[in-house]
Amino acid sequence: MHYDLLTCPALSNPTYTKPSGLLAFNAQHGGNIEYVINRRHSLGLFMRGFRTRFYTGYGSSSNDEERYRKLFGTVTGMNYRIYSHYPGNIAPQGRFTDLGMSYTKAVVGDRKVPVEQLSSCNLHLGLGKQMVYGGNFMLQYGIEVAYPLLFLENSSYATIDASKRYANLMYVNFRVGFGWLTF
């Protein structure tokens, strides 16, 4: 079991709390449960949450609530991890390639009263390294690329802008995680 933080720079869109720029980052927080099948393979289940803002690009309002909409969502999925044949690698330790699929449900606006909704199936590919210290403490780092296959529930301007923002949030993320090896 481990906690994952996935982050990507927000160069052209705002984050939940900051405008875009070189030091603005979006993040996905979540948990992952990994079951080791054999010395080189494992299966995992994960769940992540995210929140961000996006620029709508339409309307002449100077109101920030209308120009910068909120986007909240959860990503639930599974992954298949292949550990390389590099010396010293034995699952769950060493260099790995991650293949996965996930489902996302997101809302635009307030979580309690959503303005729009969108959902997506995603394909994931990740590369990284996981290390075990002291017999139980795990640390991992890597990069993840995801390709969202969006299913729009309606095609308003806000939903189209939100889907573009969501796709940018998923494409390339740097992953850092820590966890505990239970058995």
Which pair of tokens denotes residue 32?
Answer: 């992952």
Residue position matching structure tokens 């390389």: 84
Q: How confident is the model at residue 17 (pLDDT cuts 50, 70, 90)?
A: confident
Q: List the one residue out of 20, 1, 2, 3 whose CA is nearest residue 169.
A: 20
- What is the Cβ-side half-sphere exposure of residue 106, based on CA atoms within 13 angstroms? 38
pLDDT tens string 127-154 = 999 999 988 999 999 999 999 988 876 6
The answer to whether 109 touches 116, Cβ cutoff 8 Å, is yes
Residue 77: C-alpha distances to residues 31, 32, 47, 113, 130 (Å): 11, 10, 7, 26, 20
**Ordered alpha helix ranges (H), the chain:** 64-67, 157-170
Indicate if the pLDDT at residue 21 is higher than 70: no
Q: What is the pLDDT of residue 131?
A: 94
The answer to whether 74 touches 48, Cβ cutoff 8 Å, is yes
Mean pLDDT of 47-54: 90
Indicate if the pLDDT at residue 63 is higher than 70: no
Q: How confident is the model at residue 98 (pLDDT cuts 50, 70, 90)?
A: very high
Residue that wins the pLDDT comparison between 5 and 161: 5
Whole-number Å distance between alpha carbons of 73 and 71: 7
